[in-house]
Structure 1
Amino acid sequence: MRIAGALLYTALVAIAFASGIDRSSPWWVALVATFLALFLAALIRVHAVINAPREDR
């Protein structure tokens, strides 16, 4: 879950930078695309952790 948290944190940093840039800038598009990719990666990581096979003890 630490990886998912780190991915989510970096996604929020990317969107924070994107909020300060004009929307017509290509940097804005790149930062929003980065946010979407990192957010999706965090969701996939959480899904993988939750659905991981459990060890029998």
Structure 2
Amino acid sequence: MKTALTLVYLSFIAGLFASITDRYTPLWTALAAAVVVLLVAALLRVHAVVNAPRADE
């Protein structure tokens, strides 16, 4: 879960930098794409953790 939290944190940072730059520039497009990719990666990580098979004790 720390990995998912780190990915969400990085997406917020990328979103912050995207909000500072001018819209419709290549840098803004790259940062906006990074936000989407990082959020999807965080959701996939949470999904993998929640649906992981339990270890036999």
Name the residue aligned to 1:55.
55
Give the number of equivalent residue pairs.
Answer: 57
Name the residue aligned to 1:41.
41
Aligned counterparts of 1:31 and 1:24: Cα–Cα separation in 2 = 11
Q: Percent identity?
A: 51
Instruction: Kindly indicate whether residue 35 of structure 2 is the aligned counterpart of residue 4 of structure 1.
Output: no
1:25 to partner: Cα distance: 1.2
1:15 to partner: Cα distance: 0.4
Aligned counterparts of 1:53 and 1:7: Cα–Cα separation in 2 = 23
Runs of 4+ in 1 over 4 A off after TM superposition: none
1:55 to partner: Cα distance: 1.7
Aligned counterparts of 2:24 and 2:2: Cα–Cα separation in 1 = 34
Deviation digits for residues 6-57 of structure 1, max 9, x if unmatched? 0010011000100011112110000000010000000000000000001232
Query: What's the TM-score once normalised by structure 2's chain length?
Result: 0.94
1:33 partner letter: A
